[in-house]
Structure formats: structure tokens, C-alpha cells
Amino acid sequence: MSHEIAVLPGDGIGREVTPAAVDVLDALDVEFGFADCEAGDAVAEEQGTPLPEETVETVREADATLFGAVGETAADVILPLRDVVGSYANVRPARAYPGVDALQPETDLVFVRENTEGVYSGIENEIAPGVTTLTRVVTDDASRRIAEFAFDYAEERGSDVTVAHKSNVMRVTDGQYLESVRAVGDERGEEYDEALMDALAMHLVLRPEEYDVVCCPNLAGDVLSDLAAGLVGGLGLLPSANVGDDNALFEPVHGSAPDIAGQGVANPAAAILSAAMLLEWLGEDEAGEQVRTAVEGVLSDGPRTPDLGGDASTDDVTEAVVDRL
């Protein structure tokens, strides 16, 4: 059976690292059909919208999507697409790799971020001149769903869950979130920790090795996962998955990096690791493991792009990964 993958490179280095990830998928003993599509700043210039209806259809009908990066119009592209794939969980592993400079070399975290609500509701108003509001939404349904996902994920990984929140201030909304997470935890007989997101930010910086899976409301997950990127040396190595019940979108956490775009020196590791997450989500666990191991090998003693202090090109790194498959 062939897997139908929508390929959406986007802007800037997205156009360099996404083809690299496709090359790696192509080199595997797994059958794929690839459907290219466009979104982002360049398309917005041409067509007047950063997210053409055709792209939405391609993503909707694919088994999964490989996404690159988008520039200025990022929010106009990625937020609707998370919705198109019905993604309620955003999974963001942040780990330090042997041989790669990291402020905290023991970091091995996975953020499981609620991907549908919180301050991402889109409900905003100017209710009087200079007086604006945003409605932060937290529901029992979404909170239970993300809790189930986080506990399942941690079980597979054999690791512990920490639940981030700010319920001392957001008493009703994060109160609801905590109540729902606790209900799921109780039903399943899970042990886990709860942590205020501010204190957690400090503890993650000081002692990341004490944490594993961190279950977060939407914005907390956005910020804490970027913080963790700092601990492992930057965004160049962080993949992510936007997971729904029967569709999913995979993307490097980094952006379109206009400063280095077009030079062929972008680090393809995050995009290739995102492809490994795609493989695992498709049930191709063995191939996923193969890709991950190949990337780790290259990171530890293969060619390096300039962000990691080397002078290799995107292609050099991609070939080195393919050679190790």
C-alpha cells in the first residue's frame, strides 16, 4: 500500500529542507505518492491568499502532510492547516544529541501541546476605542483528549508526565483543564506531576533532565518548547507533529529563515526528523527508527551545516543521511 503524502515546502529554507526530507523518504523501502502543493508568502503575492483552496484539498485528502516553513504569513497558513488535519495534539520532542553543543546536554523532553484552543481561539474584539479582548477557551473535551494523548505517549515511551498550568491565576479555565486532566489520570490510575508554568520555565532551564513528557495548554506549549530548543542548541534540530485522529501534519519547529534562504546551507535535520515522526505515525515504525538512527549518526560524526559549526551543504547532510539508511 502506498502512502499519499502532501508536500508543502512553503517559503525560504522550507523549500530546501522539505525536498531533503522527501529524498530520505524516497530512499526507504516504503511506497509513497507525493503531491506537491504551495502555501505562504510567495503564493500570497501571486494568488492573493497564502493558503489556496487547492492546497487545503490536497492536505485534506492526503494520508499525511510534510510541511516546511512559511514566512510572514505563517499564522495564516499553519493555524488553518492544523484545523484541516483535525490536529488536537502538537508533539514536540526536544533532545540534545551527542556531539552537538548544548547548554543542557542531558535534555530529552517531549512537549505534548494542546493544539485547538486556549488563546488560539481567534475570538478577539475591540470593544471600545483602545480596549480589546481575547476570549481564552478551555473545554473539558479538549483537556481530556490532550491528557489521554499525553498519558498514552508517555506510556509508550516509558516516561513520566508533568502537567503545566497556571491555575492559580486562570482559576476557571486552567482550573477546568486541571480538573479534566486529573479525571483522566484518576480513571487510568496514572501518577504524574503538576507544575505552574512560570516555575516550570525556571526548572526546565536548571534541571531539564528531571522532566520527560510535558503536557501543556496551547500557548504554554508554544513558549516552553522554544525555551527547550534553547537548551539543546537551537531550533535547527527540532521536529514536530500535528496529530489528529486520521490525519496529521509534520513540520520542523524552525521558521523560513530568510537570512540564509537560497544558499543551500540550511540544516535539514529537523525536517528529516519530522519525516521520521511521519513514518511512525503511518505505522512504519522500522523505517522511522532507521531514519532517526541515520540522522543521529550524521549529527555525531557526519558532515555539518554552518549552524552546527560545519561548512557542509544541505545536500551533503542529506546524502550522508541517505547513505546510512
Ligand X SMILES: CC(C)[C@H](C(=O)O)[C@@H](O)C(=O)O
Angle, to 10 degrees, between the axis of helix 140-157 and the axis of helix 173-188? 50
Nearest CA among 181, 296, 309, 237 for reference residue 17: 237
Minimum distance of its own copies from residue 163's CB (angstroms): 16
Per-residue DSSP letters for 194-237? EEEHHHHHHHHHH-GGG--EEEE-HHHHHHHHHHHHHHHT-GGG
Stretch that binds its own copies, among 40-48, 59-67, 215-223, 270-278 (CB under 8 A): 215-223
Tell the smallest beta-carbon distance from residue 19 to ligand X (Å). Answer: 21
Interaction residues for its own copies, span 169-208 (CB under 8 A):
169-173, 175-176, 180, 197-199, 201-206
Residues 216-245 that bind ligand X (CB under 6 A): 222
Position 202 contacts ligand X (CB under 6 A) = no
Applying CB under 8 A, the span of 5-13, 117-125, 291-299, 300-308 interacting with its own copies comes to 117-125
Which of 253/312 has CB closer to ligand X?
253
Give the whole-angstrom CA distance, residue 62 versus residue 198: 39
| Residue from 41, 108, 174, 222 carrying the catalytic annotation | 222
- According to the binding rule CB under 6 A, does residue 133 interact with ligand X? no
Catalytic residue check, 153: no
Helix 218-232 to helix 197-206 angle (10° resolution) is 10
- For the CA atoms of 266, 284, 116, 236, the dihedral, rounded to the nearest 10 degrees, stands at -20
Shortest distance in whole angstroms from residue 190 CB to ligand X: 27
Q: Note the residues at the interface with ligand X (CB under 6 A).
A: 74-75, 78-79, 168-169, 198, 222
